Amino acid sequence: MFTSSLFAQYQKGFNCFIALLTTYKLEIIFMLKEAGQYDAKSLEQNIHKFWDEIDAYSKVREQRIKGPKFFFVDGPPYTTGRIHLGTAWNKIIKDSILRYRSMKGFNVLDRAGWDMHGLPIEVKVEGVLGFKSKKDIEKYGVENFVAKCKEFALSHRDEMTLQFQNLGVWLNWHDPYMTLRDEYIEAAWWTLKKAHEKKLLEKGLRVVNWCPRCETAIADSEVEYSEVSDPSVYIKFPVVGQENTFIVIWTTTPWTIPANIAVAVHPSFEYVKVRAVKNGKEEFLIVAQELLKNVLKQGRYQEHEILETILGEDLKIAYKAPLGHKVPKQNEFSHNVYLADFVTAENTGCVHIAPGHGIDDFELGMKHKLPIFCPVGPDGKYTEEAGQYKGMNVKEANKTIINDLTESGLMLASGKITHRYGNCWRCKTPIIYLATEQWFLRITDIKDKMLDEIKKVKWYPDWAGSARFADWVKGSRDWCISRQRYWGIPIPVWVCDFCGEVEVMGTMEELKSRSGVKELTDLHRPYVDNIHIKCSKCEQRMSRVPDVFDVWFDSAVASWATLNYPRDEKTIKEWWPADFITEGHDQTRGWFYSQMGASMVSFGKAPYKSVLMHGFTLDTEGKKMSKSLGNVVSPDEVINKLGAESLRLYVLSQNAPWDDLKFGWDEVGTVNRMLNILWNVYRFPLPYMILDNFNPVDVNEKLDSLPLRLEDKWILSRVQSLIKKVEVSMSEYNLHKATRPISEFILEDLSRWYIQLIRPRTWREANDPDKLAAYYTLYEVLVALTKVMAPFAPHISEEMYGNLVRNIHPDALQSVHMCNWQPAKEKFIDTELEKRMDIIREIVEASSNARQKLKRKLRWPVKRIVVSSKNEIVNEAVLSLESVLKEQTNAKKIVSLKTGETWDQLGVEVLPNHAALGPAFKKDAGKVIAELKTADGRAIKKSMLETGSFELKAGVITADMVTFKDLIPPAIASAVFSAGEVYVDTELTREIEAEGYSREVIRRIQDMRKELDLAVEEEIKATVEIKDDRVAVLVFEKKDFIAQEVRARSLEIGPEVEVEGDLVKDWDVEDVKMRIGIGR
């Protein structure tokens, strides 16, 4: 035992204690400790503190340094705001898988990552500084602005790190990769240089999504769609050479009409030329036949006449620019009709084409070498080229243009439409399409190779790659990587001011040596903006293009940037490509894609070997969680209410990882309850074990030498089977299938069954082998459980391990996470036994069902339980596990019938078959039926089975004339289970009544003990008055038994007892009045 001074030393520190141990050569000083109620929050905090103190994470990683390598790349969360449930789920998945891998002996590399550049942060900082446009930033100074952005990113990283750590997530938080670091920037630069070398980098005019407020191109992924009201106008373009004839187009962006160059029609649609009359005035219109009705209705024409039908491909006409009088430049272009497959049978079937303002338009323009006319500037205002509209904001110009067209009589109809339109996801400004000069990666050139690489990657689930990702890549276009902003990785492209030669700087060193700049401490803007180099072709000055990278390009290089490549050329050879990544399905077009693209450019192969695609977190309704809907649940809220462990197991077990997760508090609560039960299971035996000086260091030998009961062997088998199940599920990253069986094991096998079975054994005071067998078995099971749970529930398993293992073994590993994954011990697995026990449990359930039918409480023993079976295994089960069955059903006797045998105590009711009896016996049928009612059913049934007939007084009946039904005696109830039926005989005997009433008395005294808050071992004096003489005598016979159960040093029972004590209560037991008093 501990001496108090030793104990104090223990408190001071583990190491100190070890020292003492060695000095004094003490043994068996390590002991289990009792545990209080489950308090998730303080338990988790203590574990976090413990991990910090011993630097558990680093030790675990160091410990496996010789193991097979497992390279994991963390998809970097963007450092803005706080983490949400989806991010939490994401990191919990990562943590569980990496903990599992680590226990399996892998040398895991897992730097946490942070995505810290880009427009979202710029917009936030602009908000804080009250800026409205890029001019404000220029005025404030790019240097100051970038400093603010950096500060913002770093402070948010710190906040978010804490939140992830609160979830118990282990990644390398000490040395995360950050996109704002110079070595990271170099990885991006190096990649672009590679692209340039492979001729995959291209500068070109393209139509891009443009935010007129942010004055930059934005990625498709940065466009957020919402319902808005826009003009819906039908415009008549005057056809050249045909008097009073118009081709009719429809648009929601009248502001693009000044940039109109062409009209597109579908080659295989039928078009009509029609004479249409409105208010007596006639004109000729060209539209798709299918849509004629719509156009006539829109234009309120009263009558019409189809003059001609033309196939789209034959429609060769030219038209006059509708706004030529306002936009002089328009008159320099020729306007014609072209064919395009993207034309749909909607509105008019003729599509207005402005190659400067639409993606399809642009491509059609390129195909036919049309002018890419774009009279709109970066600020969303018309330029000089727009003639009279110059200086006008395009969105505001809609009205003016509609008026102008109406005035010139070209407006066929003008209305409003509500449709989805793209906005800048950060500042909510409606985007416009602009043809601008941008830098591109020619993804279209390497698409086929990418599709081949996708097939080499292992996708979980398979369709994430074969269907979803492949489909996205097939449809992908060249990647616009340039942004006209400030906070990002500067594009390392230098262009010769004189000859236009392009060069890409791959590293800081290269830039320094080419430019002669000695001091360069930061690779951001504005520090690299004014560095010039000498053109290697013409020796003139080269200047950097002012753009920064699309932020998706940052994370795209993560798999080598996290290995500090190209600065460190050695590490990448040992680790790359990544063994595993996992992100949500939104990242199909995001990180899965951007990484694949960048890696194809750099290395010509996929940067990852396997990908787990997970789902999204939705609210209870299945709707997206969003601030505007007010349905956001934060991980912090869940942790505060129910603990991180509950959240972890909830998100892991609720769904298949790839399905979306509908968050529900009730379900998290259920997980929490399960953990509470686990905790109770764990702490329940501790006081007994401690009292008995139980020391399980020799658990392995003891399990071999002690007389284990079948139930002990059963739970040992169950826990080993559980380990196997978890392994199989984890091999396919089926986290739900790994975690659900753990919960089931805890609830069903451990709590509801094994603990109930061994209870009486633990109360036994003698130190007998039977009790020890239960202790050792439970100990073994709990320790195995801590290891199998550790990847998923790292806190509670660490706590249990600390007590069960570290408090016992002086040389134990410090953390459960340092332990190796313990493969299933085959010698314990006995599937036959597991099957038998299943049957016993079914029988117990059925018998409790039967008891309920006759309202007989479990406290009252029953005379016997009879089991009828459909197959042999039931008999084997009942025979081998009879003691378990007897105890759990509280039966005096178990009778097992042979398979197929009916119980001889059952009566048989003979049901006459009138249809057969009538014709056979005619008017004597009545007599036969009357006789059957009182006849010996059993005899008739037996005879029918043996001879097929039976002789009654009234005549001989045959088998077809009767059917049989079992008759259950009144004191017997039955219930069926999957492989048979159970009969519970509740007939009362004197002994059963005595025991039943005694247990009623015991229960009430225990209840009163609790009310008085007595200690378990405290003795009492008890007096029991039972007015009913007969019951009083019955109970009196069990006086010693009762006294022992309630720890009474004196006990009086009788009809005339004077009841006294600290607490006196009246009870009504099954209509028998009792008055009980107890006192110290």
Residue 818 corresponds to which tokens in the numbers above? Answer: 């340092």
User: What is the C-alpha end-to-end distance of the chain, expressed in Å?
Assistant: 31
- Closest approach of RNA to the CB of residue 758, in Å: 10
Burial class (CB in 10 A: 0-12, 13-18, 19+), 229: exposed
- Closest approach of RNA to the CB of residue 241, in Å: 34
- Closest approach of RNA to the CB of residue 86, in Å: 10
Nearest CB to RNA, comparing residues 432 and 508 = 432
Helices 665-683 and 794-801, interaxial angle, to 10°? 10
- Closest approach of RNA to the CB of residue 722, in Å: 16
* Element containing residue 142 per DSSP (H, E): helix 142-166
Cα–Cα nearest to 500, from 435, 550, 545: 545
Considering 560, 591, 753, 860, which one is annotated as catalytic? 591
Considering 89, 255, 459, 552, which one is annotated as catalytic? 552
Nearest CB to RNA, comparing residues 223 and 277 = 223
- Closest approach of RNA to the CB of residue 280, in Å: 38
Amino acid at the residue 32: L
Q: Which residues pair with 413 in a beta bridge?
A: 234
- Closest approach of RNA to the CB of residue 615, in Å: 7
Per residue in 622-644, is it b (16+ CB within 10 Å) or e — as a string?
A: eeebeeeeeebbebeebbeebbb
Residue 640 corresponds to which tokens in the numbers above? Answer: 């505060």
Give me the count of residues in the chain.
Answer: 1080
Q: Where do contacts with RNA occur on this chain (CB under 7 A)?
A: 37, 220-221, 223, 225, 359-360, 420, 463-464, 467-468, 471-472, 475, 585-586, 588-589, 616, 618, 620, 622-624, 654-656, 658-662, 664, 666-667, 669-670, 673, 676-677, 680-681, 684, 736, 747, 751-752, 755-756, 759, 763, 845, 848-849, 852, 855, 857-859, 999, 1003, 1006-1007, 1010, 1016-1017, 1045, 1047
Cα–Cα nearest to 903, from 979, 966, 971, 946: 966
* Element containing residue 918 per DSSP (H, E): helix 914-921
115 is catalytic: yes
Nearest CB to RNA, comparing residues 517 and 747 = 747
d(CA 198, CA 191): 11
* Element containing residue 419 per DSSP (H, E): strand 411-424
Nearest CB to RNA, comparing residues 655 and 815 = 655
CB contact set of 134 (below 8 Å; sequence gap of 6+): 214, 215
- Closest approach of RNA to the CB of residue 479, in Å: 12
Identify how many contiguous H helices and E strands the chain contains and give both numbers. Answer: 39, 41
Considering 624, 641, 737, 825, which one is annotated as catalytic? 624
d(CA 545, CA 495): 7
Asked if residues 567 and 509 have their Cβ atoms less than 8 Å apart, the reply is: no
d(CA 794, CA 787): 9
The single-letter DSSP state of residue 802 is I
Residue 861 corresponds to which tokens in the numbers above? Answer: 């023993």
1044 is catalytic: no
- Closest approach of RNA to the CB of residue 577, in Å: 24
d(CA 96, CA 792): 5
Nearest CB to RNA, comparing residues 531 and 598 = 598
- Closest approach of RNA to the CB of residue 979, in Å: 11
Amino acid at the residue 120: P
156: number of Cβ within 10 Å: 20
Q: Which residues pair with 65 in a beta bridge?
A: none
182: number of Cβ within 10 Å: 15
Nearest CB to RNA, comparing residues 368 and 624 = 624
Cα–Cα nearest to 733, from 97, 95, 89, 70: 97
Considering 66, 199, 518, 627, which one is annotated as catalytic? 627
Nearest CB to RNA, comparing residues 932 and 1074 = 1074
Considering 76, 566, 741, 912, which one is annotated as catalytic? 76
552 is catalytic: yes
* Element containing residue 951 per DSSP (H, E): strand 949-952
Nearest CB to RNA, comparing residues 586 and 692 = 586
Residue 439 corresponds to which tokens in the numbers above? Answer: 């830098």
Nearest CB to RNA, comparing residues 940 and 1043 = 1043
Considering 330, 587, 720, 814, which one is annotated as catalytic? 587
- Closest approach of RNA to the CB of residue 1019, in Å: 11
- Closest approach of RNA to the CB of residue 565, in Å: 28
**What contacts 24+ positions apart, CB below 8 Å, involve 911-919?**
911/962, 911/963, 911/964, 911/965, 912/961, 912/962, 913/960, 913/961, 913/962, 913/963, 916/958, 916/960, 916/961, 917/957, 917/961
1062 is catalytic: no
587 is catalytic: yes
624 is catalytic: yes
Nearest CB to RNA, comparing residues 627 and 922 = 627
Cα–Cα nearest to 674, from 651, 646, 654: 646
Nearest CB to RNA, comparing residues 1 and 1016 = 1016
Asked if residues 188 and 493 have their Cβ atoms less than 8 Å apart, the reply is: no
1027 is catalytic: no
Catalytic residues: 76, 115, 552, 587, 591, 624, 627
